């Protein structure tokens, strides 16, 4: 209901019963006309006020579309900036889609959370494929090679080279003749100096059936190697028999559905072969789906909590072990190898097995990522985003974010698990399982 100009109520008039307070209203034609005109003016003014008020509200709603009424003041600076760029920017045409995506990026940047971010359509697709164990690329594992012989480097350049550590079997990289130890000096003619390993990897990856040219340093020779990209299914599970066939060694490199199924299959074969001593190698494993973490931990735990999730309102949800694991028999001894590259889902598994006393942890303190992200696509080809929606806690309700998990047995000089020779952490794990060094191979 709209407000209107108030009319005088009876109480607003003088009381005619009061003595010596008598009012005579003289209504001649002239005074009556003036009164009508005055009332008309009041009515018009009142209507104008209502019109102006309604116009202002309508104009504000039109310039702040979709903004809740209670938040229009807070969002007004955003819309002022948007319309200023749209209507007055003199540096060239700017697509609305570009401005919208830039605004979304800004919102996620304001969270100051490295695990929450906006992704373009291509980035969103590639990221989900990576987590799911599939990607489009050349099929080669890469790392860094410091010129000074130190253990690690992060920014590529003359003192830190990108190196092929292993072409996957049957991959485009292997078919193109790439070898372990090849240095990648440039991608499509562009040097990699100043990039991180992840940024260099993104340059090498690309759509299926497209060609990327890698400039390779091989000894004293430099050569350009064209590689036709394809869809690559990552080799996330590697099995090996150690200790004269008495110990099953399982290396896990990711947490996709493929990884969970592959590990269950390999583990069942180990148990069927009578191997009652197992090593689960989670070193360098950055994680993946929490559902896969539950399935993998459940291979070793018959019951109990795998992890807890705490949402933004502090509500706790328990995730318990699924039945039917292949190695839940307590008589099967288990050692889990971890290091600073073990993160997220790797830490969920390591913590669950440790808190339940199911495994001995050997190696180095883990990375320390205790949050869960949800991936959401946006409409109209605007890509998508990943957003931190929960914390995960160990079965003992410990939040390991930023601190990681300390192993039971620390091996400070642990090496790359891909290196089969001289692996102190693996050797220590075999000792824990009672395998003499002479019988470790």
Give the residue numbers marked as catalytic.
344, 369, 373
Report the distance separating Cα 72 and Cα 70, nearest Å. 6
Residue whose C-alpha is closest to residue 111's, from 422, 386, 428: 386
Report the distance separating Cα 352 and Cα 304, nearest Å. 9
């Amino acid at each position: 209901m709209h407000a209107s100009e108030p009319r005088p109520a009876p109480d607003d008039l003088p009381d005619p019963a009061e003595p010596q307070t008598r009012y005579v209203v003289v209504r001649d034609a002239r005074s009556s006309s003036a009164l009508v005109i005055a009332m008309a003016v009041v009515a018009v003014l009142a209507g104008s006020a209502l019109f102006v008020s309604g116009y202002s509200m309508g104009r504000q709603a039109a310039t702040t579309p979709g903004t809740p009424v209670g938040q229009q003041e807070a969002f007004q600076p955003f819309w002022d900036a948007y319309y200023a760029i749209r209507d007055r920017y003199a540096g060239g045409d700017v697509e609305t889609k570009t401005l919208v995506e830039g605004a979304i990026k800004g919102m996620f940047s304001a969270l100051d959370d490295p695990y929450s971010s906006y992704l373009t359509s291509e980035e969103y697709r590639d990221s989900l494929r990576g987590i799911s164990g599939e990607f489009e690329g050349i099929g080669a594992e890469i790392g860094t090679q410091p010129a000074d012989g130190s253990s690690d480097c992060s920014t590529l350049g003359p003192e830190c080279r990108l190196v092929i550590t292993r072409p996957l079997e049957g991959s485009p990289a292997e078919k193109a003749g790439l070898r372990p130890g090849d240095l990648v000096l440039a991608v499509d003619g562009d040097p990699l100096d100043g990039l991180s390993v992840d940024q260099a990897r993104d340059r090498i990856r690309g759509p299926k059936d497209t060609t990327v040219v890698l400039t390779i340093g091989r000894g004293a020779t430099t050569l350009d190697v064209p590689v036709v990209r394809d869809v690559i299914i990552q080799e996330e599970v590697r099995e090996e028999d150690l200790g004269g066939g008495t110990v099953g060694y399982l290396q896990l490199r990711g947490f996709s559905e493929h990884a969970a199924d592959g590990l269950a299959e390999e583990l069942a074969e180990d148990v069927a072969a009578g191997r009652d001593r197992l090593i689960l190698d989670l070193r360098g494993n950055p994680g993946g789906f929490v559902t896969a973490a539950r399935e993998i931990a459940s291979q070793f735990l018959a019951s109990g909590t795998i992890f807890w999730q705490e949402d933004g309102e502090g509500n706790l949800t328990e995730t318990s072990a699924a039945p039917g694991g292949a190695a839940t028999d307590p008589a099967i001894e288990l050692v889990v190898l971890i290091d600073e590259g073990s993160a997220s889902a790797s830490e969920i598994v390591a913590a669950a097995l440790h808190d339940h006393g199911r495994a001995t942890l050997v190696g180095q303190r883990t990375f320390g990522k205790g949050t869960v992200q949800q991936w959401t696509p946006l409409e109209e080809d605007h890509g998508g985003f990943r957003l931190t929606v929960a914390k995960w806690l160990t079965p003992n309700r410990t939040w390991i974010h930023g601190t990681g998990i300390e192993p039971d047995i620390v091996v400070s000089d642990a090496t790359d698990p891909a290196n089969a020779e001289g692996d102190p952490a693996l050797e220590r794990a075999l000792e824990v399982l009672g395998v003499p060094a002479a019988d470790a191979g």
